[in-house]
């Protein structure tokens, strides 16, 4: 696309690879050297580039303004590896040093200079993975996500985060050992403060310097794909850091943010909200999401804080109704629909995941059916209900049994991911292990029970790092995980249990093939409040059946009888109270042949011992007529 084409599509909000035009670009024409610089600052009085190649303030590079508000200039002296900034003179004469919004790599924080990059063509080696992704998609595939904050999974001897070069060496073998299908990273884009975990972004095209180089991350993704692991990255298109040297009031006027200060200001998060109705901002954001997908071969994007983009009154500050008199953010809704449609037109087999907590607007329905067009939505209601239930003293659980069963009423209203995420193990909420009731033994038992229930419940899965081995202290973003916990045999066994549960999930189509309709689930007994036992079955398209019985009190139930859908000999395939997992049982239940007797709507039953605070999962070893 030529200059005029880029400028036109920028103005109408349909330039979806804007980074190919704006920012710094190597001069590749014959007899040309150096770099071209282009900056969108429509209301600036003047724009210059300062950097290593200008002696900084000695000989600033002046840029010329186009009618579209894009400023352009060329320096024959600029070279790869040099640092530069944008010098913006606002109306009235104020001059500020700003970041280049399209920079691919910034200096390590707190510095914000952009680093000139040389264009490099990469020969990827993950063609087999990309071909399988295109052929099989992800809807009827296992999706079990290990959520990671790259800055605190592990740190080096000096306390610095592992770079992706080192994460490739240690995290990928761990993902394989733990049998996860995907890894998801909290935002990897440049951010000015590590304590934000990456959710206060400034560089929407820049890889966070403290995590290494963009090339090292590409190597990491490629290695993941070679080990059959997908990679998902969080992305924040709703709000951005209010730092003066970043995007905030870039040309001295509302540029990326809303004109209305109440809509621009995000009080709760100390940030600024993108003006999602502005064409140039739409081009900027859609170009950003496509850049991460295409440059890094990303398999999925989790869009953070979607609710904030959907409703005008989500924040703590004052708000005004829309033109219809209600609280919907019409621009935000239109942008999200446009974004998902554009991404899917380019990459139909890349997962789009919404972190969204309301229930008014359909998130995962197609746009032409009134939805936003996402593939998955985090099931925040299920997560809140189930954690509240498992934190309770078991003596009271029979009174709140609906917290466990209510999700069956709506579990196919959207396509869901069941998340136990970073947000649930921080800010005094306690770790997953620490949430569980009872002494240390019972806490581990409850955690195994909970994870088995999560794996068995319809929906894709997500678990935050450290939760897989029962870390007791809640997550601290400035320290590595409590890996020393694994010196304790109970933590070792918890980690082993999680790995085996994950493998079981991958190996059984009944747990993931039909995740979007009641055809894949049979609610056998959701009424046993008194004993607080839940029983349901999952099945695959070809009729493979798994039976799950979840005892949510610390009372062993001998000769427990339950109806089953199929006549046959049933074999226990998971018992969460086995000694190898941290329980006390040296062996599980023996195979059980059905007894022909009426039990609710079923014509046969099996009976066995149900472990205290345990889950027992069965499969049909042999069918009988």
Active site (catalytic) residues: 304, 355
How far apart (Å, rounded) are the C-alpha atoms in residues 53 and 75? 8
Give CA separation, 191 vs 7, 24, 88, 204, in Å. Answer: 28, 20, 21, 9
∠ Cα 13 367 188 (to 5°): 60
∠ Cα 264 269 271 (to 5°): 40
Give CA separation, 451 vs 132, 329, 380, in Å. Answer: 29, 37, 16
Q: Directed axis angle between helix 214-226 and helix 279-296, to 10°? A: 60
Q: Which residues contact 211 (CB under 8 A, 6 or more apart)?
A: 150, 151, 161, 163, 164, 188, 217
SS3 at position 138: coil
How far apart (Å, rounded) are the C-alpha atoms in residues 490 and 584? 12
What's the gap between Cα 149 and its chain centre? 11
Tokens of 534: 């839940």
Per DSSP, 13 falls in state: T
Give a three-class secondary structure readout of 154-190. CECCCCCECCHHHHHHHHHHHHHHCCCCEEEECCCEE
Nearest partner of 139 among 562, 399, 458, judged by Cα = 458
Do the bridges between strand 144-148 and strand 460-464 make them parallel or antiparallel, or are there none, so unpaired? parallel
Phi, psi torsion values for 394, nearest 5 degrees: -55, -25
Contact 364, 375 (CB under 8 A): yes
How far apart (Å, rounded) are the C-alpha atoms in residues 177 and 321? 52
Give CA separation, 216 vs 39, 207, 268, in Å. Answer: 28, 10, 35
SS3 at position 318: coil
Contact 473, 483 (CB under 8 A): no
Contact 443, 614 (CB under 8 A): no
Give CA separation, 76 vs 51, 85, 356, 506, in Å. Answer: 13, 17, 48, 55
**Dihedral over alpha carbons 144, 534, 614, 475 (to 10 degrees):** 40
Contact 1, 9 (CB under 8 A): yes
Edge to edge, what strands does the sheet with 595-599 contain? 557-563, 602-610, 595-599
List helix spans (H) across 313-412. 330-346, 380-391, 394-397, 402-405
Per DSSP, 474 falls in state: P
Phi, psi torsion values for 242, nearest 5 degrees: -90, 10
């Amino acid at each position: 696309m030529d200059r005029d084409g880029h400028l036109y599509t920028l103005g109408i909000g349909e330039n979806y690879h804007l980074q190919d035009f704006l920012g710094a670009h190597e001069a590749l024409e014959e007899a040309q050297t150096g770099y071209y610089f282009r900056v969108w600052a429509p209301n600036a009085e003047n724009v210059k580039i300062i950097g290593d190649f200008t002696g900084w303030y000695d000989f600033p590079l002046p840029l010329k303004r186009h009618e579209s508000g894009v400023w352009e200039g060329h320096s024959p002296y600029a070279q790869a590896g040099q640092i530069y900034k944008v010098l913006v003179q606002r109306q009235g004469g104020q001059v500020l040093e700003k970041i280049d919004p399209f920079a691919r790599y910034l200096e390590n924080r707190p510095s914000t200079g952009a680093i000139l990059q040389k264009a490099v063509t990469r020969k990827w080696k993950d063609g087999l993975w990309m071909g399988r992704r295109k052929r099989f998609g992800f809807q009827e595939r296992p999706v079990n996500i290990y959520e990671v904050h790259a800055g605190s999974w592990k740190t080096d001897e000096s306390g610095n985060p592992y770079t992706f070069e080192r994460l490739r060496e240690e995290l990928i073998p761990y993902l394989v050992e733990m049998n996860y299908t995907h890894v998801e990273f909290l935002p990897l884009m440049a951010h000015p403060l590590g304590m934000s975990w990456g959710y206060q972004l400034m560089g929407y095209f820049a890889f966070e310097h403290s995590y290494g180089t963009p090339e090292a991350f590409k190597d990491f993704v490629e290695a993941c794909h070679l080990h059959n692991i997908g990679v998902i990255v969080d992305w924040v298109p709703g709000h951005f850091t209010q730092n003066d040297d970043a995007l905030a009031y870039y040309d001295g006027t509302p540029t990326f943010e809303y004109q209305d200060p109440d809509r621009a200001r995000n009080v709760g998060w100390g940030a600024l909200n993108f003006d999602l109705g502005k064409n140039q901002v739409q081009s900027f954001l859609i170009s950003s999401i496509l850049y991460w997908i295409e440059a890094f071969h990303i398999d999925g994007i989790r869009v953070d804080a979607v609710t904030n983009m959907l409703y005008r009154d989500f924040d703590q500050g004052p708000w005004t109704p829309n033109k219809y008199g209600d609280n919907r953010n019409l621009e935000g809704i239109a942008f999200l629909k446009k974004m998902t449609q554009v991404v899917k037109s380019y990459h139909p087999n890349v997962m789009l995941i919404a972190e969204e907590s309301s229930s008014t607007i359909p998130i995962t329905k197609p746009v032409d059916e009134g939805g936003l067009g996402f593939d998955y939505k985090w099931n925040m209601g299920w997560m809140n209900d189930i954690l509240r239930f498992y934190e309770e003293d078991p003596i009271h659980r029979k009174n709140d049994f609906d917290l466990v069963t209510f999700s069956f009423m709506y579990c196919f209203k959207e396509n869901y991911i069941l998340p136990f995420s970073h947000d649930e193990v921080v800010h005094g909420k306690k770790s997953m292990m620490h949430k569980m009731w009872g002494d240390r033994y019972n806490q581990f038992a409850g955690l195994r029970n909970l994870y088995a229930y999560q794996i068995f419940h319809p929906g894709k899965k997500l678990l935050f790092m450290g939760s897989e081995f029962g870390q007791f202290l809640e997550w601290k973003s400035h320290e590595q995980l409590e890996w020393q916990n694994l010196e304790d045999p109970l933590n070792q066994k918890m980690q082993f249990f999680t790995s085996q549960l994950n493998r079981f999930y991958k190996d059984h189509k009944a747990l993931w093939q039909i995740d979007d309709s009641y055809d894949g689930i049979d609610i056998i007994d959701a009424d046993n409040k008194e004993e607080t036992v839940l029983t349901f079955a999952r099945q695959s398209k070809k009729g493979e059946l798994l039976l799950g019985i979840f005892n949510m009190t610390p009372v062993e139930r001998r000769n427990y009888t339950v109806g089953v859908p199929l006549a046959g000999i049933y074999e226990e395939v998971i018992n969460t109270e086995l000694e190898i997992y941290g329980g006390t049982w040296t062996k599980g239940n023996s195979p059980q042949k059905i007894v022909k007797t009426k039990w609710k709507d079923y014509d046969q039953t099996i009976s066995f011992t149900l472990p205290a605070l345990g889950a027992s999962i069965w499969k049909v070893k042999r069918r009988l007529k």
